[in-house]
């Protein structure tokens, strides 16, 4: 488009780092906190070298104390700082649910609007790295169930940058789920300040026959599946959810009204995962009358993530699973 | 007694002017009578939910806050009425909150357990035992980063000292040398559980050594002793020497909450501590040292009675929140 | 029924106590742990006097350390004890998610079946008591999303006893959500050993026109609503879910096939609550073809629970809300 | 040297027979060579996921376990290979686990981070820093309640000592006087974060005072020093005197995990500690005191090489798990 800022190819991790670099440079109130985010650069090297540019006073290594670290971020946000707290793995947020859910999410409400809690929690998430059951969870649905929180899940480097900067601009607590398998993926990223509005989904591919809703690492798998399906004469529309709370209702419903068929693809445990919410949201809407087939959920297995690589891959949706399920769903069509 | 040798003159008498001391006594009366008023209204079914009274603990609340400015912060607890008043809150708006009114500090959303007065520096009571500790440390981080010179007084109970949040919070505050004063109000019980049963160390102040900070145990029913300890610790914090832990030995004369049948403590113990009530001690000290006369004390008490009556009236005649406003103030920006 | 054991009326709390009494008497390996469950009898008096019968070695008051307490239960269950750990409020499980979700739920799987973790977590839950946002949450959906856990939610004293005893018999970790508003409700409870199979729903009222699925405190509200609807000529079937994980798919689908209309009623935040799963489960099943109308979810407000009683009531489904929504859903019928 | 004065003869030489000491040396070789083998296989891409090597820490693992019986328990960490071997595991089944095979200790579900050997009393490594601490306390509760006389050795690192789980676990173990020996392997860093940056006290052993238990800091590279400290602490536990905290000062010669670039420590430091390698020290002590000859040590080393080779072969030729078995062992009873 004309007037669009120039872009370069960056990795997902580099795009996140660029967003933090911009924020740190723009405003002295921004601080990064987390375990080994300084000289080590973070477990996934996302904050690499930022400590050398901004100093250990603003890129702060914390002790291994997730409840304390997440809570310090709340107190700092209440009193003038804009913290970005990195959980080394989103699994470790299980130690900090108290501060995230009881404090960060509820303080503004409990105090009748007297405060805001402007902070960001960074949540490296998902399986596929052989790290087994305690380092591979997809917990976004928990936080999507909590009023007071906003939850995003980028699938591209550009959105990673845009959503992280938007999260930081937002006066309320935002969790950004970063899939570990995406950190090294590359894509065009706008230079300079670039934000993506929280709560907005993006249609990645137009289609007629069925709607595939996905987020995070599942978006690329859905797109590859859509390509394969096109070869079979099935036209799949692919929606990148991007935001888990709030969900972009309009974009999803409009697509379902058009295609009449819906499949939600997600890595988290199927039961009570985001696919449940999207299915229910459609089933209670006027789009229900446009449905030509049951709503399909392709979610993770009802098990922890196993270590063995074959089992690990079998525990979450893969491209072939998407193609197969979409083919069945489209059944009537071709 | 004008001819008392200086070393026997209590710190408070030496350190504060008559106006400050009078304000302190007045606040202690205000806390006592506020809670008696709240208790009565609660018993008459005018206030719902639950309520934790600090009757008998007024000296630690007022002693800890007397040296603070509005720029200084406190984090409070479920037993936080005294802290809130000591930090300068208006009892009318506090009562209004208990009655669930729109004029309350939390517009009726929070109630007793979330009473706050952010403008005066009270970041709020907390329904989670230990929940305020990491938040106080975060406030300390802001003060240090932004160079405000403010200190944060973090109130918590003896029961809270066995929460992980205590350990993580004190350790972080110490390694980062933050201006936080941790005030543990040790009233011998966490609900029904005595410190002997809950805590593996005789004096909670001794736990300070595990965090490389000074720890001091003082008579929490002695206004002067608490004030002296907190003034010293606050000075330490303001000069960048880091946090301190102060244990104020006190006692709650009432049960833990309404549901408490006092099965876990004896009538004798309650009577013995009631005999050590901090209010007469404070009044007596001011009279003994010629700060106030008996008559002036009686006058203050009468003023406080009038203020409480007016506050109750304000609360009861205030408007209720709009029932349609359930989801307001969940987010700052929707 | 013939041969059915004799029953007496007991309160929900008494029924739970009787179940624990039976378990403690039957097997020396059973221990109770929790805060103030001894002489105090627990915040809701559920364990009242059990300490006098079985001693402080088996009815164990813990320090205020939820992560530690929940984790001690895991270690004890791994090594020969059968612990029942009481969270004083289910909200405090936010401090123990690590041990519940990463350890209790996953240990058997991570160790390839080498161990079982036979424990029960008791979860006093829900709003309606004026305890505000940090003491009123309904978090069952989080645990329903976690493979390795089983989750139940009784609505009657008989089921409270039967499900708690079944949970204790079960070799895997089970969470039992006990709604605080139910503790004092009375009902007929079978004497002696009485168990209710985990994972089974119960049809509380037969109906033709629509299916109301509810659990916990919402079951009675659904039944009262059904009674009112009958007066309007609408025949509502009421299913008491009883089990959140696993969900009794067959019972729900059979009812939907019969009535063609489904409404799910739950107190938790609507988004990503159990209603989402039940709706999605139906929408992807063959029962989808039997649906004559969109699936309605009547869930809690998208907000924390407010303190003010009017707002608090407005934040969760009440009988009138159910009647209104059911009338609309039945719309076509009468 | 037969004529060394008794007081100069190390504890281990005085206390253990030649067979036991030989087993200890053999285990230390086995740990070293097992990890070297695992590292090589990992580098060649034969093992996926991540891996934390304890090379350089063998003396603390073997010294802590040498006095334990199979009835005694241990809880281990992410750096747990040494603990597992020291407690008696078969390296063939350990390798099989790393290769994700059905013959592995966790049937390929757990991998390195969840390696366990329940029959030998190893309740498992843990992916959560500090996650094993409350579990160890629970094992101690079982031992006390069931009167088994067993002790539990709880391994964790210096980084873990800043987790809330450490605080809650040690406090509970002490107030209940449980037979648990807390062994903190202080290798100076939690990932990249030095104890100076993470821990507010100079010696972690000093934190024992906060829990009313003895604390002792020993040379963790000296088998005899660790064994003596743990034997004393275990005896204390067995006689009902309660838990102890032992800090074993040691060093990991390898990086934290694959992704570690050692940016946070110097080559000199690594070399200095490598010069204090525990293995030659142990061998030297046994030779000096005439327990073994050089030739016998060389023989043991050769035996271990053969065992490792055979174990690797067993692992690589073992069958993979059935890919369809993803959801097996999620529950004991479905
Ligand atoms: C995390 C958490 N656990 C338990 C409770 C329930 N509870 C409320 S107050 C209290 C006792 C707290 O004792 P202490 O810290 O000594 O404060 P005190 O009530 O004596 O002022 C308990 C157990 C809670 N609110 N939060
Ligand atoms: C709760 C939690 N936080 C963070 C991590 C990531 N992590 C794994 S090991 C480690 C360092 C642990 O340090 P220490 O306890 O000293 O053990 P060491 O690795 O030195 O043996 C960290 C931060 C984790 N696995 N769990
Ligand atoms: Mg107390
Ligand atoms: Mg370490």
pLDDT digits (tens, 9 = 90+) for A123-158: 999 999 999 999 999 999 999 999 999 999 999 999
pLDDT value of position B276 = 98
Phi, psi of B280 (to 5 degrees): -60, -35
Smallest CA–CA distance, residue B96 to chain A, in Å, is 13
Report the alpha-carbon distance of residue D195 to residue D192 in Å, rounded.
10
CA distances from C293 to A291, A333, C163 (A): 12, 24, 34
Lowest mean per-residue pLDDT among B48-52, C115-119, D90-94: B48-52
pLDDT value of position D334 = 84
Peptide bond into C246 cis (omega under 30): yes
Over range B7-12, report the average pLDDT.
92
- Enter the DSSP assignment of B320: P
- D77 contact partners, CB below 8 Å, separation of at least 6: D83, D125, D126, D129, D132, D155, D156, D157, D160, D185
pLDDT value of position B2 = 52
Q: Three-class SS of residue D186?
A: strand
Give the dihedral of Cα atoms D203, D204, D209, D213; nearest 10 deg. Answer: -130
pLDDT classification of A332: cutoffs 50, 70, 90: low
Set of chain D residues whose Cβ sits within 8 Å of the Cβ of A66: 163
Q: Three-class SS of residue A33?
A: strand
Residue D199 gets the label, from left (phi > 0), alpha (psi -120 to 50) or beta, of beta
Smallest CA–CA distance, residue A195 to chain D, in Å, is 31
- CB-based contact, A303 to chain D, within 8 Å: yes
pLDDT classification of D245: cutoffs 50, 70, 90: very high
pLDDT value of position B1 = 46
Residues lining ligand 2, CB < 6 A?
A 35, 64, 66, 88, 92, 95; D 52, 78-79, 127-129, 157-160, 187, 189-191, 256
Ligand 2 atom having least distance to the Cα of D52: 19
Question: How many whole angstroms from D184 Cα to the centroid of ligand 4?
Answer: 9
In 3D space, the residue among A26, A25, A43 whose CA is nearest the CA of residue A34 turns out to be A43
Over range A73-81, report the average pLDDT.
99
pLDDT in tens, C64-101: 999 999 999 999 999 999 999 999 999 999 999 999 99
Phi, psi of C10 (to 5 degrees): -130, 155
Question: How many whole angstroms from D190 Cα to the centroid of ligand 4?
Answer: 4
Over range A202-228, report the average pLDDT.
98
Over range D127-148, report the average pLDDT.
98
pLDDT classification of D1: cutoffs 50, 70, 90: very low
- A322 contact partners, CB below 8 Å, separation of at least 6: A212, A221, A222, A225, A263, A265, A298
pLDDT in tens, C160-189: 999 999 999 999 999 999 999 999 999 999
pLDDT classification of C332: cutoffs 50, 70, 90: low
Mean pLDDT, rounded, of chain D: 97
Best probe of the A interface among D38, D41, D45, D49, by most A CBs < 10 A, is D49
In 3D space, the residue among C116, C120, C129, C112 whose CA is nearest the CA of residue C43 turns out to be C129
Does residue C1 have a pLDDT over 60? Answer: no
Asked whether the beta carbons of residue D210 and residue B201 sit closer than 8 angstroms, the reply is yes
Distance of CA C106 to the CA centre of its chain: 22
Neighbours of C197 (CB within 10 A): 12
pLDDT in tens, D157-181: 999 999 999 999 999 999 999 999 9
Paired with A211 in beta bridges are A237, A262
pLDDT classification of A334: cutoffs 50, 70, 90: low
What secondary structure, in 3-state letters, does C49-108 show? CHHHHHCCCCEEECCCCHHHHHHHHHHHHHCCCEEEEECCCHHHHHHCHHHHHHHHCCHH
Q: Which residue in the set C94, C102, C283 is minimally distant from A294, CB to CB?
A: C283
Over range D31-52, report the average pLDDT.
96
- A54 contact partners, CB below 8 Å, separation of at least 6: A24
ipTM here: 0.98
Ligand 2 atom having least distance to the Cα of D128: 26
Does residue C3 have a pLDDT over 80? Answer: no
Over range B12-26, report the average pLDDT.
98
Asked whether the beta carbons of residue D333 and residue C107 sit closer than 8 angstroms, the reply is no
Q: What is the pTM of this model?
A: 0.98
pLDDT value of position B6 = 73
Over range B135-163, report the average pLDDT.
98
Residues 138-177 of B with CB under 8 A from A: 138-143, 145-146, 148, 164-165, 168-169, 171-172, 175-176
Does residue B299 have a pLDDT over 90? Answer: yes
pLDDT value of position A2 = 59
Name the CA radius of gyration of chain D, rounded: 19
- CB-based contact, B73 to chain A, within 8 Å: yes
pLDDT classification of A218: cutoffs 50, 70, 90: very high
Q: What share of chain C is helix, strand, coil (3-state, %, to 5)?
A: 40, 20, 40
Is residue A298 within 8 Å of residue A321, measured between CB atoms? yes
Asked whether the beta carbons of residue A91 and residue C102 sit closer than 8 angstroms, the reply is yes
In 3D space, the residue among D189, D153, D180, D213 whose CA is nearest the CA of residue D263 turns out to be D189
Does residue B4 have a pLDDT over 80? Answer: no
Give the dihedral of Cα atoms A276, A281, A285, A289; nearest 10 deg. Answer: -30
- CA A13, A16, A22 angle in degrees (round to 5)? 140
Q: DSSP readout, D193-252?
A: EEHHHH-SSS-GGGGGGGGTS-EEEEETT-HHHHHHHHHHHHHHHHTT---EEEEEE---
Neighbours of C235 (CB within 10 A): 18
Report the alpha-carbon distance of residue A268 to residue A274 in Å, rounded.
8
- D310 contact partners, CB below 8 Å, separation of at least 6: D92
- Enter the DSSP assignment of C255: H
Asked whether the beta carbons of residue A92 and residue D128 sit closer than 8 angstroms, the reply is yes
In 3D space, the residue among A226, A315, A210, A227 whose CA is nearest the CA of residue A263 turns out to be A210
Report the alpha-carbon distance of residue D155 to residue C202 in Å, rounded.
47
pLDDT in tens, D180-237: 999 999 999 999 999 999 999 999 999 999 999 999 999 999 999 999 999 999 999 9
Over range C204-212, report the average pLDDT.
98
- Kindly identify the ligand whose nearest atom is closest to the C-alpha of D159: 2
Set of chain C residues whose Cβ sits within 8 Å of the Cβ of B108: 306-308, 311
Is residue A118 within 8 Å of residue A29, measured between CB atoms? no
Catalytic site residues of C? Answer: 66, 135
CA distances from B102 to B85, B109, C162, C323 (A): 19, 9, 44, 30
Report the alpha-carbon distance of residue A143 to residue A171 in Å, rounded.
17
Is residue A317 within 8 Å of residue A298, measured between CB atoms? yes
Asked whether the beta carbons of residue D168 and residue C148 sit closer than 8 angstroms, the reply is no
State the alpha helices, DSSP H only, in chain D: 11-15, 18-43, 58-65, 81-86, 91-98, 132-146, 164-175, 195-198, 223-238, 267-274, 278-288, 294-317
CA distances from A152 to A81, A142, A183 (A): 22, 13, 16
Residues 253-272 of D with CB under 8 A from B: none
Does residue C333 have a pLDDT over 60? Answer: no
Best probe of the D interface among B129, B171, B209, by most D CBs < 10 A, is B171
pLDDT value of position C2 = 60
Over range C314-330, report the average pLDDT.
98
Asked whether the beta carbons of residue D172 and residue C107 sit closer than 8 angstroms, the reply is no
Tell me, using a 6 A CB cutoff, whether residue B191 lines ligand 1. Answer: yes
Asked whether the beta carbons of residue A81 and residue B127 sit closer than 8 angstroms, the reply is no
- CB-based contact, D45 to chain A, within 8 Å: no
Best probe of the D interface among A69, A308, A315, A316, by most D CBs < 10 A, is A308
Residues with CB in 5 Å of ion ligand 3 = B 157-159, 187, 190
Report the alpha-carbon distance of residue C103 to residue B63 in Å, rounded.
44
pLDDT classification of D258: cutoffs 50, 70, 90: confident
């Amino acid at each position: 488009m004309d007037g669009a800022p120039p872009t370069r190819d960056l990795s997902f991790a580099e795009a996140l780092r660029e967003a933090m670099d911009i924020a740190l440079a723009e405003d002295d109130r921004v601080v990064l906190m987390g375990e080994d985010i300084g000289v080590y650069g973070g477990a996934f090297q996302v904050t690499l070298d930022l400590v050398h540019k901004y100093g250990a006073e603003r890129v702060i290594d914390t002790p291994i104390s997730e409840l304390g670290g997440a809570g310090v971020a709340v107190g700092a946000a209440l009193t003038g700082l804009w913290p970005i707290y990195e959980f080394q793995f989103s699994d470790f947020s299980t130690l900090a649910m108290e501060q995230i859910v009881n404090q960060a999410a509820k303080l503004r409400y409990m105090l009748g609007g007297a405060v805001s809690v402007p902070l960001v929690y960074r949540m490296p998430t998902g399986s596929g790295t052989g790290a087994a059951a305690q380092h591979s969870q997809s917990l976004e649905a928990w936080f999507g169930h909590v009023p007071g929180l906003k939850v995003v899940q980028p699938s591209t480097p550009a959105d990673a940058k845009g959503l992280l900067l938007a999260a930081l601009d937002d006066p309320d607590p935002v969790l950004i789920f970063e899939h570990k398998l995406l950190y090294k993926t590359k894509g065009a990223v706008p230079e300079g300040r670039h934000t993506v509005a929280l709560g907005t989904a993006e249609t990645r591919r137009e289609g007629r026959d069925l709607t595939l809703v996905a987020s995070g690492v599942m978006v690329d798998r859905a797109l590859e599946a859509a390509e394969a399906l096109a070869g079979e004469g099935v036209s799949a529309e692919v929606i990148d959810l991007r935001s888990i709370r709030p969900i972009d209702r309009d974009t999803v419903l409009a697509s379902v009204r058009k295609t009449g068929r819906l499949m939600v693809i997600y890595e988290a445990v199927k039961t009570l995962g985001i696919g449940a919410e999207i299915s229910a949201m459609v089933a209670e809407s006027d789009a229900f009358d446009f449905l030509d087939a049951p709503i399909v959920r392709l979610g993770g297995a009802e098990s922890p993530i196993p270590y063995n690589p074959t089992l690990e891959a079998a525990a979450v949706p893969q491209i072939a699973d998407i193609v197969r399920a979409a083919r069945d769903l489209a059944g009537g069509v071709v | 007694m004008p001819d008392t040798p200086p070393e026997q003159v209590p710190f408070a008498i030496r350190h504060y002017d008559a106006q400050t001391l009078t304000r302190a006594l007045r606040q202690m009366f205000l806390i006592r009578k506020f809670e008696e008023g709240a208790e009565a209204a609660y018993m008459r079914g005018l206030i719902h939910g639950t309520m934790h009274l600090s009757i008998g603990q007024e000296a630690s609340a007022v002693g800890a806050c007397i040296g603070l400015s509005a720029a200084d912060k406190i984090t409070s607890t479920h037993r936080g009425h005294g802290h809130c008043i000591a930090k300068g809150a208006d009892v009318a708006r506090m009562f209004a909150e208990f009655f669930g009114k729109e004029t309350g500090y939390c517009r009726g959303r929070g109630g007793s357990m979330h009473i706050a007065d952010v403008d005066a520096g009270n970041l709020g009571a907390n329904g989670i035992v230990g929940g305020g500790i990491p938040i106080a440390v975060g406030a300390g981080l802001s003060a240090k980063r932004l160079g405000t010179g403010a200190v944060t007084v973090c109130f918590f109970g003896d029961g809270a000292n066995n929460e992980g949040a205590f350990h993580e919070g004190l350790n972080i505050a110490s390694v980062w040398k933050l201006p936080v004063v941790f005030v543990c109000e040790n009233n011998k019980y966490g609900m029904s559980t005595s410190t002997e049963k809950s805590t593996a160390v005789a004096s909670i102040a001794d736990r300070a050594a595990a965090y490389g900070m000074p720890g001091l145990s003082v008579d929490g029913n002695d206004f002067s002793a608490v004030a002296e300890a907190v003034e010293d610790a606050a000075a330490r914090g303001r000069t960048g020497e880091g946090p301190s832990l102060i244990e104020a030995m006190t006692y709650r004369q009432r049960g833990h909450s309404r549901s408490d049948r006092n099965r876990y403590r004896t009538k004798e113990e309650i009577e013995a501590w009631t005999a050590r009530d901090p209010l007469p001690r404070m009044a007596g000290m001011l009279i003994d040292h010629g700060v106030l006369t008996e008559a002036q004390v009686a006058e203050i008490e009468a003023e406080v009675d009038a203020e409480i009556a007016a506050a109750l009236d304000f609360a009861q005649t205030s408007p209720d929140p709009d029932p349609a406003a359930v989801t307001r103030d969940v987010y700052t920006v929707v």
